[in-house]
Amino acid sequence: MELKYKIKRFFRNIAIENLMTYIAASMAIIFVGDLFTDGMLSLYLSFDKAAILEGQVWRLITFLMLPDTASPIWIVFSVYFYYFIGKETENEWGSHNLTMYFLLGAALLIISGFVTGYTSASYLYFSLFLVYAHLDPHHRFMMFMVIPIEAKWMALIDAVFMLSGFIKAFAIYPIFPLLALGMQLSVVIAFLVYGIFFGKDHFGGMVNRFRHRDFYREMRQNRIKMSQNERDDDEK
């Protein structure tokens, strides 16, 4: 068997069931640990290029499990959000696809971290909502427990939020240029991974819309020509 087929078969068998459930639970546990250690647990588990090169290789994995908030209130919403979106996306898309999405994003974030010295998985997780909205765009959420809004519009808000993080990073370039670059690369990687998996669907949809527009435009032009020819025949 050729090597490329062996590689395809190897990756086809990679699937971590309930992946985002494990990650959400890890975030909750680390958050509680931070309460008792004054944030030292997250510091010990975060991505640190120098520490990793010195042998603290667990940081290559544990930085993916850090909570993205220090608020006791928001951590509840954050953990539930990741659990819910992860579970629903896995049910819709399958464990294999979600696992490959996560692993590709994690690998790119690690590379970015070694280049800039900083990386964060938060935006990669935010991009999971884009995946969910692509798979089920008409699912309705209750914003602020009152306003019904479809997933596709929530995804637009999510994308704007991610882009705002990219823009805000420009403010710290004069002081911490590598940190700012690392923050921006985290956003770019999140969009890039989404684009790798779903860019073809969006591009194909745009192409089809243009084709339909051109088709209907041509039909209208043909109708106008036919009506003109009919009037010319009547005059004769």
Domains of the chain, by residue range, sit at: 3-198
- The owner of tokens 């209208």 is 220
Q: What is the mean pLDDT of residues 74-84?
A: 91
136 burial level (CB within 10 Å; 0-12, 13-18, 19+): middle
- The owner of tokens 């435009």 is 217
Q: What is the mean pLDDT of residues 14-28?
A: 93
Instruction: Give the residues across from 143 on adjacent strands.
Output: 147
Can you read off the two tokens belonging to residue 130?
A: 């884009």
* CB neighbours of residue 10 within 10 Å: 9
What kind of fold does domain 3-198 have according to CATH? Rhomboid-like fold (1.20.1540)
Structure confidence at residue 4 (pLDDT): 45
* Stated pTM of the model: 0.80
Helices (H), the chain: 3-12, 19-37, 40-45, 49-53, 59-62, 72-93, 95-116, 122-135, 151-168, 177-235
Residue type, 228: Q
Structure confidence at residue 1 (pLDDT): 46
Range in 47-51, 80-84, 140-144, 149-153 with the lowest mean pLDDT = 140-144
Confidence class for position 233, pLDDT limits 50, 70, 90: low
Structure confidence at residue 43 (pLDDT): 94
